[in-house]
Amino acid sequence: MRFAHFSDIHLGFQKSRPLQSVEQDVFERALDDCIRRSVDFILVCGDTFHANIPEMRVQKLAFAALRRVHEAGIPVYAIYGSHDFSPSATSVIDLLAETGYITNVQRLANNDDGTMSLGFVTDEKTGAKLAGISGLGASKDITYYEKLDRDALEAEPGFRIFMFHGAISEMRTAGDAAQTVDAAMPLSYLPRNFDYYAGGHMHQYQLNTFENYPHVVYPGTLFAGFHSDLAENAGGAKRGYVLVEFDSTGVTDVRQVEVKNCEYDMIRINATHKTSHAVNEEIHEKLAGMEPDGKVVLLNVSGKMSEGKTTDIDFAAISDGLHKKGTVEVKISRRQLSSAEYEITESQGDTAEEIAVNTFVENIGQVESGFPQITGTRGAKLAKRLLDILSKPALENEPLNAYQKRIADEVAAELGLDEEGEGEEDARDESARDEQIERRPPA
């Protein structure tokens, strides 16, 4: 008998079409491989989706793939992760459960003594017994473990699997600690002596055995659910799912099944004590020796330059040049890049609004421009208003194109542009808005 263990698929995470295609292909090939191997059932331990209601494209591909699994007679047992679960709204994963394509394993109930009991779901074909707790945002699910009646779970006979979505302190790696902000919980929060512990949430493959806790396993992400996952892929990290063999005596074999995604090239540039011109030359020298056709190229530029501005490096032209050479996608990381000639300093103020405006005012003087409306106090206040608009989240169930148009329209209105994108804001209107900003109470 055998089962497959998945977690952290994060369907819908990728925003560019080339990487969306890779994301879909990896997901479909992994499930098709499970069908080919005739697994008895599949476990999915949270974060099947990157959002509780992903775009229709993602929903369509997920339903189609899981329908094939269902028609092959393979049950899919799932718990929810912090990304695909919503406490206040129906999630697409709820719809999958309603259709019968997946079974939600969590069976939590409150007891009169303040504890919580957890029921089992039994796989009809193999007799395996599954119990699990879904992951919630901000580690709220840890309270479930604190109240859990573990004695009753540990007394259950038979082959038992415990499914969970959360970081275990004893297994947390430096990479996972940097990626996840949720607190880790001790291994002792889980019931003891189950045959297999199916984990989710940590994105690196891990298999460990502890006293009273055999086979504690994280499959890791199937492709990428964080931007840093792509960097790990480029560094040689294997991605896939876990295949588990078992019989009436327990687990007999656990192994990772690799599902290849794409090829990568990684370029790292340390800009410390270098001029912007030197950094530009170094990037182009490294690009000249590459064959990026059909690959994902990751460019990481970090450090403080001694001379020049970060804008002297034309990252857009670099990206365009790579795409012309057949690159699948270009991911550029420059968040840690700065220059000694241009440093942002945070100013003081009594409110968050004052701090933001004062910071813009004190730093915007470093920007050279022939347009007075974007410099000085006037420009700082305009920048703050634009930042407020661009920081607005999408509304619940708002399509991406509608969200983008709404934000673009608000930006255009703030800049005083007409429908053709031309025109300049009337100075009196802007002055009035500036006065309103100054009088507006802090948020």
- Contact predicate 158/126, CB 8 Å: no
Asked whether residue 24 carries a pLDDT value surpassing 50, the answer given is yes
Q: Are residues 327 and 372 in the same domain?
A: no
Could you give phi then psi for residue 83, rounded to 5 degrees?
Answer: -85, -40
More confidently predicted of 441 and 385: 385
Retrieve residue 414's tokens.
């703030």
For residues 116 and 248, membership in a common domain is answered with yes
Structural domains counted in the chain: 3
CATH number of the domain within which 80 lies:
3.60.21.10
Q: In this structure, are residues 201 and 85 in contact, taking their beta carbons and an 8 Å threshold?
A: no
Residue 103 to residues 18, 53, 77, 79, 343, Cα–Cα distance (Å):
32, 18, 5, 8, 53
Q: Rounded distance, CA 267 to CA 274, Å?
A: 17
Domain annotation covers residue 345: no
What type of residue sits at position 360? Answer: F
Domain boundary, last residue among 339, 370, 401: 339
Domain extent for 296? 263-339
Element (H, E) at 174: helix 174-179
DSSP 216: E
Average the pLDDT over 165-185 and give the result: 72
Q: Characterize the bridge pairing of strands 103-104 and 76-79.
A: parallel
Least confident of 107-111, 197-201, 328-332, 406-410: 406-410
Buried b / exposed e over 125-134, threshold 16 CB at 10 Å, is ebebbbbbbb
Is the predicted pLDDT of residue 85 greater than 80, yes or no? Answer: no
Q: Is 347 inside a domain boundary?
A: no
Last residue in a domain, options 312, 339, 366? 339
Looking at the structure, do residues 115 and 162 belong to the same domain, yes or no? yes
Residue 254 and residue 269 share a domain: no
Tell me if the pTM is above 0.85: no
Residues 254 and 270 in one domain: no
Quickly state the pLDDT bin for 426 (edges 50, 70, 90). very low
In this structure, the answer to whether residues 167 and 279 fall within a common structural domain is no
* Average per-residue pLDDT for the chain: 86
Residues noted as catalytic:
83
Same domain, 166 and 199: yes
Tell whether 311 is covered by a domain: yes
Domain stops at, among 226, 243, 258: 258
